[in-house]
Amino acid sequence: MQTAQRAIIHVDMDAFYASVEELDDPSLKGKAVVVAGLGRRGVVSTANYEARRFGVRSAMPTAEARRRCPHGVYVVPRHARYKAISDVVFGVFGQFTPVVEGLSLDEAFLDVSASLRLFSSVEAIGRQIKDDIRARTGLNASVGMSHNKLLAKLASELSKPDGFLAIRPEEVRGYLDPLPVGRMWTVGKVAEEALHKVGIRTLGDLLRADDWRLHKAVGARHGEQLRALCRGEDPRPVVAEAAEVSISAEWTFETDLDTLALAEAWMLRQCERVGSRARARGLKGRTVSVKLREPPFVTHSRQAQLPVPGHATPEIYAVARRLLQTWWNQHPRPRLRLLGVSLSGFDARQSDEQQDMFATPASEKPSDGVQDRINQRFGAGALVRAGVLKTRGKD
């Protein structure tokens, strides 16, 4: 019996953060809008299409963006606002299928195969999703549709902005063959250069290349994987509600930290953020990791285990602080331009009853509960521990 073909949709909001800013401030329409950190070490989160014409792109240092686009409007990110709009968008997805794989606030894969019984085609579902997002948020979404994730994402990318494209099985080669080989998923800069050296510049070139040339460039295993992808083959499923691997928080400083006391205060601030998020999700972790970056760009990481999986801020901070102090004392002139902490090692199957009965379960702290409730009511940062006060006004 032949397996029914899947129906996969990829939705990507157009220049999401910048579009939200234009929605809330119509005077920005038609201007080059860049959402970015505005400090000396800020980076670009999103640039609208007007700004992209000047070469501004995500992850670019804000200083470089200003050089390329000095007349642009630079806006500080408002993550709470973007999350609120994202919740509306994902609410639209949930009306069509429960199989939603969120990639970020503004991007997701949907498997709507089971929904085809209620709609005439995947295009009908995609059009309704696009129209509903527009009606509920006032924003444009690019929608790509096909029978697998690779082609659905390619369809949304090729049709941006405000895109809408379905790639049918018989159309795959027509869309894929002319594309530069660097556009293919899994082909990085090194692999792209190696393929160019043997005369492979497009996906069609790769399919037509003999084994010797292809394997010389990227190896036999990767070469055969690329052949399958260039044929439009992608068996990956849409994975709904993927388990959270880690919860982290970090901060890049305008002025390097050069005292341990201030570094400890910032570490406590990040531990409060991580603990609050873990408790909100009902997750308890075993591993605490710290990320420490010296100027100009040397990054160190250290990790240690909690005695019992937990999410209490004092326990997370005790481990993180010890790791920070050890690192600090090992360096003759310690300075930090970035500091971060993460909690990982979650096990959703592990209940409190399964934990070590001889360990002290200090994960439920009254102070955490009070702080969480006040911050939920009055906003993040309304109540912090005294040690965090040293960081106030130094954001």
Ligand-binding annotation for 356, yes or no, is no
Q: What does the alpha-carbon distance between residue 269 and residue 367 come to, in Å, rounded to a whole number?
A: 15
Annotated catalytic residue, options 107, 192, 264, 272? 107
* Residue that has been written with the tokens 């157009």 in this structure: 14
Q: What does the alpha-carbon distance between residue 188 and residue 191 come to, in Å, rounded to a whole number?
A: 5
330-366 residues labelled b (16+ CB within 10 A) or e (exposed): eeeebbbbbbbbbbbbbeeeeeeeebeeeeeeebebe
CA dihedral 182, 186, 190, 193 (to 10 degrees): -30
CA 112 to chain centre: 23
- The reply to whether 272 belongs to the active site is no
Closest residue by Cα to residue 253 from 320, 323, 334, 336: 336
Ligand-binding annotation for 12, yes or no, is yes
Closest residue by Cα to residue 318 from 284, 290, 348, 338: 290
Residue 390 and residue 337 in contact, taking contact as beta carbons nearer than 8 Å:
no
Closest residue by Cα to residue 34 from 5, 11, 7, 68: 68
Which residues are part of the catalytic machinery? Answer: 107
Residue numbering of the annotated binding site for Mg(2+): 12, 106
Residue numbering of the annotated binding site: 12, 106
